[in-house]
Structure 1
Amino acid sequence: MRFHAPVTATDALREPGFIASLGGSAAVAILLSAWVLGFTTRPLRRFAAAANRLGIDMNAPSLDEAGPREVRLAASAFNKMQRRLRAFVEDRTRMLAAVSHDLRTPLTRLRLRAEFIDDDVVRDKMLEDLSEMEAMIGSTLAFARDEAAKEAIEPLELNALLARLGEDMRDAGKPVGVAPAPFSIPIVGRRMALRRALGNLMENAVKYGQTAQVALAVTGENVTITIDDEGPGIPEIEFENVFRPFFRLEASRSRDTGGTGLGLSVANDIIRAHGGEIRLSNRPEGGLRVIVVLPVEPGAT
């Protein structure tokens, strides 16, 4: 007997059972992959958040030493590094304050002895040098006191902070203009430290550039503060040097103005401690532009 029966081709992909099975397997695989990925990257996110906190606040809480063995070891090493950095900064701050304080006694003796010099020219020059040294020591002590004060971090509104600072400087007879942003700019930081940093920059603009014009702008997750003056500017080769402690430009920023060379250095340290940066540029129309970039409060943008 001979049978002839043609075979009908079937497409397995179109079978309802196969499609349902494939979809279920894919969903389970995706959910399982997402869970594994989140579980493995969660410690990295914790480390990134802790590193950002450490860059802003040296006294931030320690990282929780929990999880797998490797994660606990890494967290323990990070916490140990944070403690060492904190101790290093505190030791240097105490040493700076102690040295600056102890120098006042011999300076006072030198001033008393200088009064007995008969030559008026020599006596006046020596007293002028002693006054300059006392001003430098006073600035250093003020900086050390601020560092040791451990001012708390709090939510701030940058528009209001700059407006109040500009008003205080105008009351002191300094030509300062502040153009606030048309909306609220919430940030997180130390109020008095930021006032000191921005105040130093604005006072420098008034002292060496006759006026200070302040403007704000928000770009992404950062706020940019520009401070323009009408002075002679700074040679670009000296942009990095002016942030060094006690560095002064003799050509354009004379010692006769009474500066100690700590203003920009202190401002730079404070802004960096808030996770920001300071940049300098010479304006095409003349004058110096100081650009301060600070992060806004997370989620505010």
Structure 2
Amino acid sequence: MGAIVAVILLVSLLAARRVTAPLAGFAAAAERLSVDGQADPLPEEGPRELRAATRAFNRMQARLARFVADRTQMLAAIGHDLRTPITRLRLRAELVDDPEMQRRMLSDLDEMEAMISATLAFARDDAQREPRGRFDLADLLQSLCDDRVDAGHRALYDGPAHAVAEGRTVALRRALANLMDNAIKYGGGFTVRLETGPDGSQHRNALIHIDDDGPGIPEAEFEKVFAPFYRLERSRSRDTGGVGLGLSTARSIIRGHGGDVTLANRAEGGLRATVTLPL
């Protein structure tokens, strides 16, 4: 009787493992899809119902990839078509006799071209096709700070000498550079602090705090500033306000790595941008 019970338990455990293993793989694939839309399709294995769910999941992933590709191609075509009339307008503006009117027209055309280029870069996100890999996050932050110090800005790094992470290095460099340049533009400089530790589960994450000494922003604007083309600075001058895509691009890239970026006013004054990244 004991031998029979032992055999039944062993067979039950093997059967349960055969059923749950594909479910664990399915859950991991769903989590991976939220980070990497170009991930490989999930193998169709396991019970019939699970194979059907996996097949539907793979079709959904393929449709999402096609949707993003079609949207990018459409925006690229629109941007290309818009450059032609802008060029014609620029040539006609050169023939305007009034110097002040000519200056204003050329300035508006420059802004239109900058917005088109920024929009295409935001939608295309060439770095999205960059392969993921291991890199030293601390070294990346130190390098970004050094670049800004060389340009004559105040940029300090405070954190460990090394912190290995996984992701798209070029994309993350662009996102973090946008946040740092934003701190320089409105705060005159920044201090970046890197912390690593558990996120409350079995995983570890990195916290990157970018602190500036600027005036901060109203709490009601914390989420609004991440909207594309939204600017607190209301003038249309690109020298002071940009086109309003820096923070949108940064959040899009960071969320594409499974993290997030939030803003908060510091008690001692200034603004803090906090980036969370899984290690």
Q: Please give the TM-score of this superposition, normalised by the length of structure 1.
A: 0.83
Q: Give SS of 1:59's match.
A: coil
Correspondence for 1:89: 68
Write the distance in 2 (CA, Å) between the matches of 1:254 and 1:107: 19
Correspondence for 1:196: 174
- Residue from 185, 205, 210 that aligns with 1:227: 210
Correspondence for 1:118: 97
Per-residue CA deviations over 1:126-182 (Å, capped at 9, x if unaligned) read 222211111112222333453377111111110111111221222222221111325
Over the aligned positions, Cα root-mean-square deviation in angstroms equals 2.3
Alpha-carbon offset, residue 254 of structure 1: 7.0
**Cα distance, 1:257–1:172 mapped onto 2, change above 3 Å:** same
Write the distance in 2 (CA, Å) between the matches of 1:170 and 1:135: 26
Write the distance in 2 (CA, Å) between the matches of 1:29 and 1:227: 58
Correspondence for 1:181: 160
Correspondence for 2:201: none
**Cα distance, 1:148–1:230 mapped onto 2, change above 3 Å:** closer
Correspondence for 1:109: 88
Contact 1:277 1:294 in 2 (8 A): yes
Q: Give SS of 1:84's match.
A: helix
**Cα distance, 1:199–1:58 mapped onto 2, change above 3 Å:** same
Per-residue CA deviations over 1:203-243 (Å, capped at 9, x if unaligned) read 00001111121011112011110101111112111111111
Write the distance in 2 (CA, Å) between the matches of 1:127 and 1:133: 10
Correspondence for 1:236: 219
Correspondence for 1:73: 52
Correspondence for 1:281: 264
Alpha-carbon offset, residue 121 of structure 1: 2.8
Q: Give SS of 1:178's match.
A: strand
- Residue from 29, 36, 56 that aligns with 1:57: 36
**Cα distance, 1:166–1:30 mapped onto 2, change above 3 Å:** farther
Alpha-carbon offset, residue 71 of structure 1: 1.2
Per-residue CA deviations over 1:19-46 (Å, capped at 9, x if unaligned) read xx77x78766765554444333222211
- Residue from 207, 212, 216 that aligns with 2:190: 212
Aligned length: 274
**Cα distance, 1:224–1:149 mapped onto 2, change above 3 Å:** closer
Q: Rg: which structure is higher?
A: 1
Q: Does 1:262 align with 2:245?
A: yes
Contact 1:101 1:141 in 2 (8 A): no
Q: Give percent identity, aligned residues only.
A: 56
Which structure 2 residue ranges, 5 or more long, are not aligned? 199-203
Contact 2:233 2:240 in 1 (8 A): no
Q: Give SS of 1:231's match.
A: coil
